[in-house]
């Protein structure tokens, strides 16, 4: 070991003012850095949405709409959305793991924005979702899906999907900060996210649903998402469904960001 004077040599009174967003970026980069050590993770990120898309399209699609090609054209993109929606659980599990392992103890005792510690995890997960969307979307295209809305419509649909995933991830941040075990987070996913997905217009047209479920499907945020994606992909004129989706996203963020920050303070620092 070298002597202390090297230790004293470097000035460590850094004055660069890095705000919460820059700190979030550092934290996001940290979550993504593990990919370099385990590149196989890149496959993990898209396996579940890919399998959901392929299995539903090929095994059930024909029965639901006559031919799997028709089903893919109608529900392919929204089923990809559903697969990615289930993947937001990774945010909860990741935060839970960080806190359990003690990584967050040091970070919490540092002058770092609490928002950045949470947003960093979500930011990194968004990059993973975007990657999965690219791969699974590519597969859908390869097996015959075509968007009438063209490149612009596809980009807009991907944009609203990612926006929704970002908002919904904050619910999982709260879950990760308040859960007592990893199993609990998994249970929440099965009992909350799945029913939400199945009572929306992801698979089916709203008119085919029984009365009470129709009402549920209409107020379901996933219906707003599915309808918005379809409008853009089909090259239609965006209207109420897109406004409803933006409203949902704003509401979820407005409620769950403060709740998550409060849960964070309760868990660490209180």
Q: In sequence order, which residues have a C-beta less than 8 Å from that of residue 94 and are 6 or more positions away? A: 31, 121, 125, 176
Kindly state the smallest distance separating residue 95's Cβ from other proteins, in Å.
Answer: 13
* Residue of 39, 102, 210, 211 interacting with other proteins (CB under 8 A): 102
CB of 187 to other proteins, least distance (A): 24
The residue within the footprint of other proteins, chosen from 39, 63, 110, 210 (CB under 8 A), is 110
Using an 8 Å Cβ cutoff, are 136 and 46 in contact? yes
Report the distance separating Cα 106 and Cα 270, nearest Å. Answer: 15
Q: How far is CA 184 from CA 94, 95, 159, in A?
A: 14, 14, 31
CB of 106 to other proteins, least distance (A): 3
| 268 forms part of the interface with other proteins (CB under 8 A) | yes
- Residue from 21, 42, 43, 109 touching other proteins (CB under 8 A): that is 109
Residue 180 near other proteins by CB under 8 A: no
Question: Segment contacting other proteins (CB under 8 A): 45-53, 81-89, 99-107, 180-188?
Answer: 99-107
Closer by beta carbon to other proteins, 108 or else 184: 108
Cβ 12 to other proteins shortest distance, Å: 4
Interface with other proteins, residue 261, by CB under 8 A: no
Contact 169, 91 (CB under 8 A): yes
Q: With binding defined as CB under 8 A, does residue 105 bind other proteins?
A: yes
Does 14 sit near other proteins (CB under 8 A)?
yes
Pick from 39, 40, 63, 101: which binds other proteins (CB under 8 A)?
Answer: 101
Say how far apart CA 195 and CA 87 lie, in whole Å.
15
Q: What angle do CA 182, 184, 186 make, to 5 degrees?
A: 75
Of 13-21, 56-64, 139-147, 217-225, the segment contacting other proteins by CB under 8 A is: 13-21
Could you tell me which residues come within 8 angstroms of residue 249 by beta carbon, excluding any fewer than 6 positions away? 163, 164, 166, 167
* Rounded Cα distance, 240 and 111, in Å: 43
CA-based nearest residue to 72, from 147, 178, 7, 170: 147
Q: Footprint of other proteins on this chain (CB under 8 A)?
A: 1-2, 4, 6-10, 12-18, 23, 26-27, 29-30, 33-34, 37-38, 101-112, 116, 268-270
């Amino acid at each position: 070991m070298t002597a202390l004077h090297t230790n004293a040599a470097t000035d460590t009174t850094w004055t660069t003012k890095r705000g919460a967003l820059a700190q979030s970026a550092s934290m996001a980069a940290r979550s993504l850095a593990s990919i370099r050590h385990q590149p196989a993770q890149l496959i993990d990120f898209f396996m579940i949405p890919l399998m959901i898309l392929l299995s539903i399209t090929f095994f059930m699609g024909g029965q639901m709409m006559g031919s799997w090609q028709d089903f893919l054209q109608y529900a392919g993109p929204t089923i990809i959305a559903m697969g990615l929606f289930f993947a937001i659980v990774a945010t909860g599990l990741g935060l839970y793991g960080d806190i359990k392992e003690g990584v967050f103890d040091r970070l919490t005792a540092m002058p770092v924005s609490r928002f950045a510690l949470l947003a960093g995890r979500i930011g990194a997960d968004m990059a993973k979702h975007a990657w999965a969307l690219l791969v699974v979307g590519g597969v859908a295209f390869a097996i015959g899906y075509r968007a009438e809305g063209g490149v612009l419509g596809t980009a807009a649909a991907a944009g609203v999907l990612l926006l929704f995933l970002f908002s919904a991830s904050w619910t999982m941040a709260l879950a990760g900060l308040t859960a007592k075990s990893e199993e609990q987070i998994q249970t929440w996913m099965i009992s909350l996210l799945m029913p939400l997905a199945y009572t929306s217009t992801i698979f089916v047209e709203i008119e085919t649903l029984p009365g009470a479920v129709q009402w549920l499907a209409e107020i379901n945020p996933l219906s707003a998402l599915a309808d918005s994606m379809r409008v853009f992909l089909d090259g239609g004129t965006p209207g109420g469904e897109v406004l409803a989706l933006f409203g949902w996203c704003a509401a979820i963020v407005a409620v769950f960001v403060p709740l998550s920050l409060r849960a964070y303070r309760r868990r660490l620092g209180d």
